[in-house]
Amino acid sequence: MKQIVRLTKIFRFEMAHALSGYKGLCRHIHGHSYQLEVTIKGQPDNTPGRSSEGMVLDFGDLKAIVQEEIIAPLDHALMLKEGSVLSLGGVDNELFARIVWTPWQPTCENMVLDFAGRIIAQLPDGVTLCRLKLYETHTSYAEWYASDNID
Ligand SMILES: Nc1nc2c(c(=O)[nH]1)N=C([C@H](O)[C@H](O)COP(=O)(O)OP(=O)(O)OP(=O)(O)O)CN2
């Protein structure tokens, strides 16, 4: 009998962005304290004596994946769509040392789609990404569900 368990770990990062061509205030560079909830599922490994005995995936391993793929490149960065005009003339370039250019508009929808691909590529066999929930503000979030994205 299958014994599938879901695990969730919550991450936080600070990032600025601007929505190129957007009609409202979000066309200007502004920052968010993002919260990302990552849910995976699998069958616990009950091999006696293993460090991971009783675990679907060590929370520490999940943290390492999300840290490397998402938090390290994006925390305290500025995400802009490629082609956005940004004049660096006359300013300290350190201010703009962490720009992440994306081919897509940096909405929470597109971010969560990008994050899903990055995390899936790093998960070990037998462990599946079920859901991502990305809060952009206290009142706004995007969700990605594996069940919505089956071909
Ligand atoms: N579908 C989307 N709409 C908007 C996005 C987005 O990523 N996807 N992003 C923005 C802005 O980045 C904005 O900062 C967040 O939007 P909003 O929830 O409207 O922010 P508010 O602080 O104004 O929300 P309150 O209603 O005051 O809580 C815009 N839209």
Cα distances (Å, whole numbers) of residue 69 to 9, 88, 118, 124: 15, 28, 6, 15
The CATH superfamily holding the domain 5-149 is: 6-pyruvoyl tetrahydropterin synthase/QueD (3.30.479.10)
Q: How far is the CA of 135 from the centre of ligand 1 (A)?
A: 10
Model pTM score: 0.93
The whole-number average pLDDT for the span 8-19 is 98
Q: How far is the CA of 3 from the centre of ligand 1 (A)?
A: 39
Ligand 1, atom 12, lies closest to the CA of 26
Q: Any idea where the domains of the chain sit in the sequence?
A: 5-149
The string of pLDDT tens digits covering residues 73-111 is 999 999 999 998 776 655 567 778 899 999 999 999 999
- 104 and 110 Cβ atoms separated by less than 8 Å: yes
Query: Rounded to the nearest 10 degrees, how much is the dihedral formed by the CA atoms of 49, 54, 55, 59?
Result: -80
Task: Write down the mean pLDDT value for the chain.
Answer: 94
Question: What's the pLDDT score for residue 87?
Answer: 64
